[in-house]
Amino acid sequence: MHHQTHSDIQQGLDIEFKKHDARFEMRAFRSDTEKVFKDLDEIRRKQIELASDHIALETLGDITQTHQAMDGSTFNECQLNVANFNKKGKALKKLIGKLDDLGDSVNQFLEEY
């Protein structure tokens, strides 16, 4: 019966863990690590653009309210409200399209990796 020393056991475990880690790395990223990070960067860019558009949408009403304060005419206020509503509607549709695109990109990434 061969008795292994503590260092022999430790060395054997280290070798097995390294083999396992290497298999995991290959399985997780396959051989195309650069593509993984490129795809993640694209998703990140879309998230930033979406956040920026969302902030711009929120400030759209603030600008119109400033104009309303300058002119007390009820008719002009109504026209500005309608114009603001239409602008926000278009911006919201555009935002929803970008959100759908981001969702598609994330789903595609999850399917590939």
pLDDT in tens, 57-81: 888 766 555 555 555 678 888 888 8
Query: Residue 105: CB partners within 8 Å, gap ≥ 6?
Result: 39, 42, 43, 46
Mean pLDDT of 84-106: 95
Report percent pLDDT > 70 for the chain: 77
Query: Residue 83: CB partners within 8 Å, gap ≥ 6?
Result: 64
Mean pLDDT of 99-105: 97
Other beta carbons within 10 Å of 72:
8
Report percent pLDDT > 90 for the chain: 39
Q: Give the max Cα distance, the chain.
A: 101
pLDDT score of 89: 93
SS3 71: coil
pLDDT in tens, 18-61: 876 666 555 555 668 888 899 999 999 999 999 999 999 888 76
Contact 101, 46 (CB under 8 A): yes
pLDDT score of 70: 56
Contact 54, 91 (CB under 8 A): no
